[in-house]
Chain A
Amino acid sequence: MKGSLIILSFFATGLLLGVFRWLPIGFLNNNASFYVLCLLMFSVGVSIGNEPATFRQFRNLNPRLIFLPIMTIAGTWLGIISVSFFIKDRSLADCLAVGSGFGYYSLSSVLITQYKGVELGTIALLSNIMREVITLLFAPLMVKYFGNLSPISAGGATTMDTTFPIIIRTSGKDYAVISIYQGFIVDFTVPFLVTLFCSL
């Protein structure tokens, strides 16, 4: 939660500087953010490739639970599809691109801004932050009514970092490995799925 607030404050600082024109506009016209994004993606890749040990503990998973990330992704899309009819000025692909952030707001918002512009990028940032907050707030209710796997699905790509502690507390310690597994897989799909829906 503290990490999210820090990130949000960087966004807010940029927002204020932009609104009051405290920085020259020329600052934005070069493609700086694209190169930073490439560097970020390279670093994310290094962090994945550098930890092969993470894969090894997935061998102890119950085979049935291997499908949880697929349920998360499919369920999210079905939810998005059903509400997209009520959002008239966005295409279905745009809505699905936002939903395919699965709570990974930093990466998805920056990617979508690159591909589709700042308007949809803003929606992606807000929407994916909201997903994380919804998970943090409602995890106990989710477990009560929808079973121990539900907060893990709700957390999407964040279940191995920001929402991990609340999942352990509400679903139980037995769900630590499945939570990390699901976060890892969904995390990995975000850049691919967002790129896919942005190119449709």
Chain B
Amino acid sequence: MFIVIACMLAGIAVGFIFRHHKARFIHRLILTLVWLLLFLLGLEVGANEMVVRQFGKLGFEAFLLAASGTFGSVVAAWLLWLSYSKKSENV
């Protein structure tokens, strides 16, 4: 499981070593890999009949988690904003 994180840390090291050679292609590569992975995820979801049948229920759970998580973070940011705007005017 931690292999994935080790890959990222190795990437950071490699990127830093070559920081004077801007790897412009990297963002294109990331986007392409994301497309490929999402395609594979779709394939896996589609081939899994149980997940397909429950798609509506999964979507509802996803909505509950998205709405509550977003709302929680908005309130937390509001608290920081209240303490911040009292003290100073500039960012």
Contacts and interface: CB of A to CB of B under 8 A. Distances in A.
A76 B66 CA distance: 9
A130 interface: yes
Contacts of A27: 43
Interface in B1-53: 1-5, 7-19, 22-23, 26-27, 29-30, 33-48, 50-52
A80 B74 contact: no
A32 B17 CA distance: 29
Contact of B73 (A49, A82, A156, A178): A156
Interface in A55-100: 62, 64-65, 67-68, 71-80, 82-83, 86-87, 90, 95, 98-99
B5 to A, nearest CB: 6
A17 B41 contact: no
Interface string A175-187: 1011000000000
B30 A62 contact: no
A138 to B, nearest CB: 8
Interface residues of A, number: 103
Interface string A41-57: 11111111111100000
Contact of B72 (A76, A124, A128): A76
A67 B80 contact: yes
B5 A195 contact: yes
A156 B43 CA distance: 28
B66 A127 contact: yes
A121 interface: yes
A152 B73 CA distance: 9
Interface of B: 1-5, 7-19, 22-23, 26-27, 29-30, 33-48, 50-52, 54-55, 58-59, 61-85, 87-88, 90-91
Contacts of B74: 75, 142, 146, 150, 153-154
A111 B88 CA distance: 41
Contacts of A126: 58-59, 62-63, 66
A18 interface: yes
A146 B70 CA distance: 12
Given A122-B51, A142-B74, A46 B45 contact: no
B37 A36 contact: yes
Given A23-B43, A65-B91, A195-B2, A46 B12 contact: yes
Contacts of A18: 42-48
